[in-house]
Structure 1
Amino acid sequence: MGSCCTCHPKNNKTYTLNLEARPGLYVNEKFSYPSSYINLQSFAQRMANTISNMKIHNPIKTLVSKSKRRYTKDGFNLDLTYITNNLIAMGFPAEKLEAVYRNSIDDVAKFLEAKHNDHYKIYNLCSERSYDETRFQRVATYPFDDHNPPRMEVIQPFCNDVHQWLSQDKNNVAAVHCKAGKGRTGVMVCCYMLYSKQHRTAKDALNFYGSKRTTDKKGVTIPSQRRYVGYYATLVQEALQYQPVTLVIREIRLEPAPLLNGAQCGNIQFTISQQNEKLFTSAPKEVKKGAGLIELPLSQYIPITGDVKVEFCRKTIRKDKMFHFWFNTFFVRDEIVVSGQDNGTLGVPTSDCTIRTVRALSYDEQAATNNHYNNNENQHNSNNHHNNNSSNASGGEPRPRETRANSCSSLGIDNNRMLVLRIDKWDLDDAHKDKPNKLYSSDFRVSTTRIMYQIVQLLISE
């Protein structure tokens, strides 16, 4: 007589499967399987390999890639794009279950060995994770955090490394990746294209990368990351040598007040960080409805050097993030001269203020400029005497520009002079997503100002 499975007790056991969905996030799930499937981790790995091997028609990988262009030739299905003939942008080479929706490390290795055997080098930009580097022939790491720009000190060594590798053999390629292979990867690829003179401006490099890497031309979209591509473009265009510059933040202003909690009232707070260390956290500031100006003076002068992050949040029962931005003190260039005595507070710039740009020159460039100027001083004085006190717009020999130290020193003499960094709403991280202008008006901007020798004052105006 036949038997039904319901006539016998189930020989099932319950196991807990710990899956790493992404770094730092673990999902514990209980599954009921026949006891023959004791090694669930092995079973899960076999399933991951099976799904990953569905090359061309794997809808999961395509869904995760979103608008990124994929390489789907010769039996491969990879989140990988040739930006140029020797520059590759790709997603993270993942293992285990993550390979279901990201590039499989096996597939990436097979691709590179098949297409560029002994002529490829991988550049890993992830600070949050790594992998077995022995799976590849060459791997270099230049890590920085997701959704953030790199430290300025990282960009030049990266460009030197890539250029040295590509120059060794015309067949060499550089494969650059972060996690998704878009934002951080785009920053460094664009910087290298500027370094190698493939593009003259940051805008050109960013647009080119966006058109190659994505179908919607949205490559590097985070404002601070785009800003740092612009910073590096400035270094290349003006042949500057980057050197950290120390400034001191004195005050932050918001003008007018943004909307908080659905109404123009509430408390606002900000933090200033440098190298992942919080230097200052302000006390909550009450924002009243209809306030045209919010002044946020610091209780102490905070010296900052190099890469700086400023974050704003709404202070309720919990902290709700508003927006943030990164900037580098070396590139705080614009100088504003405000009439009236400085009594410790910043007067609102008016029409009688004059604004000019102070170039941040390195010591080497300043020395070269001075030598060149001295050699041509007599000719300059005779031919361009009428331009001695202004910038030469007629093509004559320009006067030497001040060094950063000289500029700041001059501010110690004239307390009415301030350096200004202005950032529009559309260049503020998170705030740029407010396209309907519900929280910030379309002309919302951040102004980082007030340097008196090494004193900076931040202004946020709307």
Structure 2
Amino acid sequence: MASLLRQIVAGPRARHPQAGLDLCYVTDYIVVTSGPSGVWPKKAYRNPLDQLVAWLDRKHGQDWTIFEFRAEGTGYPDSEVYNRIHHFPWPDHHPPPFAVMPNLMAAMRNWIQRLDEEGGDVSEKKPKRVAVVHCKAGKGRSGTVACSYLISEEGWKRDDALQRFTERRMRTGFGQGVSIPSQLRYVGYVDRWTNSMGKTYVERPVEILEVHIWGLRDGVKAAIEGFVDNGKKIRQFHTFTREEKNIVEGGDVPSKKTHLSDLKKQSNVLSTPDHVTPNSSTISLNSPASNTETVILKPSKPVILPTSDVNIDFERRNKATAGFTMVTSLAHVWFNCYFEGGYEGYDSGVFAIEWEAMDGIKGSYRKGTKSLDRLKVVWRYAKRVGDDAPLERVITEPAKGEPVPEVTPPNWRGEDDTESKPSDGFDSGRPGGKAITMGAMVNSGAESLGKELGLRKSHPDSTNVSRASSMRKDHEETTAGASTDVTDAQAYDSSEEGVKTYGVQEEKEGRQDTKVGHAMETGLAKAAHIVAKMRSDGYDGNHQG
């Protein structure tokens, strides 16, 4: 560790001149790369932007452009890629707001197929141009877009597109390229949008009426989230309180979509009881786990999301001391109401899912201890005041060659870096840039840790949300294969593990089976986290013991 800290202070090691760039060809016309950077410290372990641009220029001349999806900022100004870039950003580890997909697919189609040129069609003399797509790791968001394009514009079958991306991007034994359940769900939406729905999407605001949960453990916080700012941000619209929890018994999750008028006809749907016990903490159920509840969470006031994309987020916490809470479980699930009943003509519906099928921490399968068995979300389209007609915005894919609107990108340095100075580790613009600084590494470490299991400061808004009483109960309730480890290892972000790349020496060596600089990033982030902790404990680096 001391050696690693010395490397941080001294600066990054130079990249080996034979090192391969982190990119791969999904097809001849789609290149996937991890997010490049032209500034320190990220330039040390991510694709150096100047090398990537030189490579693309040499291989494809002017026939390449970038499509990027980083709501956290690209890490470089548009001018460094000749302003040859298109922005469709959304947050990491999440599916895209579906409203952006028709424009994104059209923009890629117009570029690749040369539909923006005079004559506007592919010919033998003018082969397809190259779309370079990237997010952070070049895996989840990039894979979602690459597969969606092959399905919607090239006629590929869904499973074939997903398999191609996995084969080209992932090393053997490291699982699927697109692996996050909600991202896979949205690829399925694209398949239906293309092949069954005439490439028409209707965006409507949605009201969440109830969330029904079977096997709810104690200490679980449930929240309703949705996209805002054209999909660049996720906002928490409501956190359920104890007073909004109604305990009931019995019922099963419906097996298919339904609309609100059918709910009372189904024996497998919970009904809000006439007499409820909202403050009760436990209930005896015929359940494999003790201390579980079957509940209906019903907002005390209308909760209306501005789009049809809905996220239900869960966090399980245990009581701790000194103003801290131990987070032992994190999970969430995204769905789109238009594809879960709206397209069939219903103005309301039900979405159901099992715990095992939900999204885990940072896009992994890890969720921590089990928080619930299954859930069902009851929704309806929001109405105008005094009018039964729903608000709606019909979104169709722009015609071939038609200009496509894009989303205004966030600050390329990242929204947290709007006031960063050169001393924070960013390139000053002079040749060679600015030497890496300890402050930049601390910032990098904090950024990489993100939302995770473990100790967290208690927040004032959590006073009306219950917490589990002990860690021992969590271990007793954990099912086979579930992880209860809340050590620093839980900070590990698996989204970049296992990707394989096509190196800059491909003419001589063929496809490279290399790995992105994730190990270096993880090590530097952990070291920076340790340094920050030392500082908070009063250690200034000059203490002699």
Instruction: Please tell me whether the aligned partners of residues 224 and 427 of structure 1 are also in contact (alpha carbons under 8 angstroms).
Output: no
Residue 298 of structure 2: aligned partner: 297
Indicate the residue corresponding to 1:312 in structure 2.
314
Provide Cα deviations, 1:335-379, integer angstroms capped at 9, x if missing partner: xxxxxxxxxxxxxxxxxxxxxxxxx44xxxxxxxxxxxxxxxxxx
State the Cα distance separating 1:445 from its structure 2 match.
3.3
Within the candidate set 273, 277, 290, 2:225 is matched to 273
Equivalent residue letter for 1:309: N
Q: Using a 3 Å threshold, how does the CA distance of structure 1 residues 92 and 332 change in structure 2: closer, same or farther?
A: same
Alignment equivalent of 2:215, drawn from 227, 236, 256: 256
Higher strand content, 1 or 2: 1
Deviations 1:182-212 (A, max 9, x none): 11101111111111134122x3322221121
Q: How does 1:331-342 map to 2 (within 5 A)?
A: 331-333=339-341
Q: Deviations over 1:299-351 (max 9, x none)?
A: 12323331122111224453735211111121222xxxxxxxxxxxxxxxxxx
> Aligned partners of 1:316 and 1:299: how far apart in 2?
26
Distance (Å, rounded) in 1 between the aligned partners of 2:326 and 2:313: 11
Contact 2:211/2:375 (8 A) holds in 1: no
Closer, same or farther in 2 for the Cα pair 1:223/1:105, shift >3 Å? same
2:134 pairs with 1:182: no
| 3-state DSSP of counterpart to 2:299 | strand
Query: Residue 58 of structure 2 aligns with which residue?
Result: 114
What is the alpha-carbon distance in structure 1 between the residues aligned to residue 62 and residue 8 of structure 2? 45
**Does the Cα contact within 8 Å between 1:81 and 1:213 map onto a contact in 2?**
yes
Find the residue that maps to 1:193 and give its secondary structure. helix
> What does residue 5 of structure 1 align with?
none
| AA at the equivalent of 2:58 | A
1:244 aligns with 2:208: no
**Which residue of structure 2 aligns with residue 447 of structure 1?**
376
| Structure 1 match to 2:470 | none
TM-score w.r.t. the length of structure 2 is 0.51
Q: Would you say the 8 A contact 2:207–2:302 is kept in 1?
A: yes
Larger Rg: 1
Within the alignment, does 1:166 sit opposite 2:112 as a pair? yes
| Aligned-residue offset at 1:126 | 0.8
Q: Report the secondary structure of 1:115's partner residue.
A: helix
CA distance in 1, matches of 2:6, 2:224: 37
Contact 1:250–1:300, Cα closer than 8 Å, also in 2: no
Q: Does the Cα contact within 8 Å between 2:221 and 2:240 map onto a contact in 1?
A: yes
For structure 2, which runs of at least 5 residues remain unmatched after alignment? 115-125, 229-233, 246-279, 283-289, 320-324, 389-478, 480-545
User: Quick one: percent identity of the two aligned structures?
Assistant: 25
**What letter corresponds to residue 60 of structure 2 in structure 1?**
H
The one-letter code of the counterpart of 1:146 is D
Q: Structure 1: any 5+ residue segments left out of the alignment?
A: 1-26, 32-39, 57-76, 259-265, 334-359, 362-401, 409-417, 456-461
Residues 435 and 325 of structure 1, relative CA distance in 2, 3 Å threshold: closer
Does structure 1 conserve the Cα–Cα contact (< 8 Å) formed by 2:316 and 2:371? no
Distance 1:111 1:29 in 2: 29
SS in 1 for 2:151: helix
| 8 Å Cα contact 1:91/1:179 also seen in 2 | yes
Contact 1:246 1:329 (C-alpha < 8 Å) held by counterparts:
no
* Structure 1 residues 243 and 91: CA distance shift in structure 2, 3 A: same
> Aligned pair in 2 of structure 1 residues 230, 102: CA closer, same or farther (>3 Å)?
same
Q: 1:178 to 1:433 in 2, by over 3 A?
A: closer
Separation (CA, whole Å) in 2 of partners of 1:424 and 1:306: 21
Q: How does 1:92-241 map onto structure 2 within 5 Å? A: 92-95=35-38, 96-130=40-74, 131-137=76-82, 138-168=84-114, 169-201=126-158, 203-215=159-171, 216-238=174-196, 239-241=198-200
Whole-angstrom distance in 2 between the partners of 1:172 and 1:453: 43
Cα distance 1:134–1:28, how it changes in 2: closer, same or farther (>3 A)?
farther
Amino acid in structure 1 at the alignment position of 2:15: S
Whether the 8 Å CA contact 1:52–1:99 is kept in 2: the answer is no
Contact 1:121 1:175 in 2 (8 A): yes
Asked if structure 2 preserves the Cα contact closer than 8 Å seen for 1:272 and 1:279, the reply is: yes
Matched with 2:526 is none
Number of the residue aligned with 2:338:
330
Which whole-Å deviations, capped at 9, do the CAs of 1:54-100 have from their partners, x for residues lacking one? Answer: 323xxxxxxxxxxxxxxxxxxxx011000001100001111233222
Following superposition, the deviation at residue 449 of structure 1 comes to 3.0
For the Cα contact (< 8 Å) 2:221–2:314, is it kept in 1? yes
- Code of the residue aligned with 1:213 in structure 2: it is R
CA contact (8 A) 2:213 2:294 kept: yes
Secondary structure at 1:93 match in 2: coil
Q: Secondary structure at the match of 2:93?
A: coil
Are residue 91 (structure 1) and residue 34 (structure 2) matched? Answer: yes
Q: 2:430 corresponds to which residue?
A: none
The structure-2 alpha-carbon separation of the partners of 1:436 and 1:302, relative to structure 1 and needing over 3 Å to count, comes to closer
What is the distance in 2 between the residues matched to 1:180 and 1:152? 21
For 1:405-444, what per-residue CA distance to the aligned partner results, in whole angstroms no more than 9, with x for missing partners? xx33xxxxxxxxx722122334311189668996268xx4
Taking structure 1 as the reference length, the TM-score comes to: 0.60
Q: Distance in 1 between matches of 2:164 and 2:353?
A: 24
**Per-residue deviation, 1:119:** 0.7
Q: CA deviation at 1:136?
A: 2.0
- Aligned equivalents of 1:136, 1:176: Cα separation in 2: 13
Structure 1 position 254, deviation (Å): 1.5
For the structure 1 residues 246 and 185, does the alpha-carbon distance in structure 2 shift closer, same or farther, using more than 3 Å as the test? same
The one-letter code of the counterpart of 1:430 is: G
Between the aligned partners of 2:295 and 2:313, the Cα distance in structure 1 is 16
Change (3 A) 1:240 1:85: closer
Aligned length: 308
Secondary structure in 2 aligned to 1:220?
Answer: coil
Change (3 A) 1:141 1:223: same
Change (3 A) 1:436 1:196: closer
Distance 2:381 2:59 in 1: 57
Residue correspondence of structure 1 range 281-430 to structure 2 within 5 A: 281-284=239-242, 287-288=281-282, 289-304=290-305, 305-317=307-319, 318=325, 320=327, 321-333=329-341, 360-361=342-343, 404=345, 407-408=346-347, 419-430=349-360
- Aligned-CA RMSD value: 3.2
Task: Specify which structure has the bigger relative contact order, considering alpha-carbon pairs within 8 angstroms and separated by 6 or more residues.
Answer: 2
- 1:251 Cα offset (Å): 1.6
